[in-house]
Amino acid sequence: MDLSRAKRKLDHIRHALGHEHDIYSHFDDINIIHQSLTDLNFDQLHLGTNVGELTLSSPIFVNAMTGGGGDRTLRINRDLARAAAETGIGMAVGSQMSAIKDSSERPSYQVVRKENREGTIFANVGSEASLDQAKTAIDMIEADALQIHLNTLQELIMPEGDRDFSSRLHNIGTIAEIVDVPVIVKEVGYGMSTETMNVLIGAGIRYIDVAGRGGTNFSKVENMRREKPFASFNNWGIPTPMSLLEGRRLDEDLHILGSGGIRNGVDGAKSLVLGAEAFGMAGSLLKVLIEDGYDGLIEQIEHVKKEVKMVMMLTNSTEISELRHCPFTLHGETKEWIEQRKR
């Protein structure tokens, strides 16, 4: 086992749960317009939806977190996978590079498919991955889709991080062309701009998870592992609602997923109103699992599902896909953002 890599995985969990979160959420800048005259039956609302080629029983997924850190990460992935199966939501595993390089780490990822035979599961690699490594990651967990993460700032803050990204776009394009599952390019909490998304579209990408700022903050996480922190980057990145607005400026054929700082079902529904087709939650679900245990996690996911259905009721939306047509208003910094980005 690569001990330094395994230790890093455990550090990430500890610091992701321990760092100070922003007090202000840009999701509070969005108001979905309330509609009094709903004519729907709550018990008949269903959360099933399609995102491109993916058929999901719910627009919610557990975003990429862990694996590759020995038994502790195996147990976390097992519980997350069981909860995803029981509540009918999707799930991504954390970066599989450790298990690609060291097969003794594979069980900590494979447990996810073992516990959730029928569910929608995403594999995960960084943009340094070769085509063969991407295929190995997909096969390892019989994944329904592959996430490729972009984490430039995290790598730059990590003392042992990558510094050369010159082959990443080539890698992404090759993988997307060859593998036979959808390829989702995601950030890790810094959000994506229209410019970035346009380059990805040019490379053949049709699925993007903006993974914006507002929740787990990898600058803070990595700075907690440094003797001399780069604290000046603690607020770097594009908040999730703004990144979703960046995505709205692009072509219809792009499938956008929303994540980063989604605290509850209302934030999740706001991301759907802003144009996402599904939304991911990572750090907040891990915190519930660690603090309240498995039953607490199930209760939380069911609560989030109910909140999304309540927003469907209050906007008279029969289908998840209708939420994107709901009227909304923007306030504060998010309103300023959109005004300046129109120029």
Nearer to ligand FNR, 91 or 314 (CB): 91
CA pair distance 142, 175, nearest whole angstrom: 16
Choose the stretch contacting ligand FNR; rule: CB under 6 A; options: 136-144, 196-204, 249-257, 279-287: 279-287
For residues 38-77, which are near ligand FNR according to CB under 6 A?
A: 63-66
- Contact between 61 and 275 under an 8 Å Cβ cutoff? The reply is no
What are the start-end ranges of the E strands in the chain?
Answer: 30-32, 49-51, 54-56, 60-62, 90-92, 121-126, 145-149, 183-186, 207-209, 255-259, 278-281, 328-330
Cβ-closest position to ligand FNR: 215
Closest CA to 64 of 107, 109, 101, 11: 109
List Cβ<8 Å contacts ≥24 apart for 161-167.
Answer: 161/222, 162/126, 162/128, 165/127, 165/128, 167/128
- Contact between 81 and 91 under an 8 Å Cβ cutoff? The reply is yes
Nearer to ligand FNR, 150 or 254 (CB): 150
* Residue 280: Cβ-neighbour burial (10 angstroms; 0-12, 13-18, 19+): buried
Least Å distance, CB 316 to ligand FNR, is 28
Least Å distance, CB 67 to ligand FNR, is 8
Which pair of tokens denotes residue 264?
A: 């509850």
- Site track 129-168 with ligand FNR (rule: CB under 6 A), x = hit: ------------------x-x-------------------
Cα 146 versus chain centre, distance: 12
**Binding ligand FNR by CB under 6 A: which of 16, 99, 172, 269?**
16
Least Å distance, CB 273 to ligand FNR, is 18
Choose the stretch contacting ligand FNR; rule: CB under 6 A; options: 109-117, 230-238, 260-268, 326-334: 260-268
Taking CB under 6 A as the rule, does residue 95 contact ligand FNR? yes
Least Å distance, CB 76 to ligand FNR, is 9
Least Å distance, CB 209 to ligand FNR, is 7
User: Site size for ligand FNR, by CB under 6 A?
Assistant: 27
Cβ partners under 8 Å of residue 142, min gap 6 = 113, 121
For residues 194-253, which are near ligand FNR according to CB under 6 A?
A: 211, 215-216
Least Å distance, CB 298 to ligand FNR, is 18
Least Å distance, CB 295 to ligand FNR, is 21
**Binding ligand FNR by CB under 6 A: which of 6, 12, 49, 136?**
12
Place of tokens 């195996």: 74
Least Å distance, CB 36 to ligand FNR, is 32
**Binding ligand FNR by CB under 6 A: which of 58, 73, 124, 136?**
124
Cα 324 versus chain centre, distance: 19
CA pair distance 281, 209, nearest whole angstrom: 11
Least Å distance, CB 307 to ligand FNR, is 15
C-alpha separations of 67 from 7, 99, 105, 301 in Å:
12, 8, 8, 21
Q: Report the phi/psi class of residue 275: left, alpha or beta, with left for phi > 0 and alpha for psi in -120 to 50.
A: left
Nearer to ligand FNR, 10 or 85 (CB): 10
Cβ partners under 8 Å of residue 249, min gap 6 = 194, 341
Binding site for ligand FNR (CB under 6 A): 12-13, 16, 63-66, 94-95, 124, 147, 149, 186, 188-189, 211, 215-216, 259-262, 281-284, 286
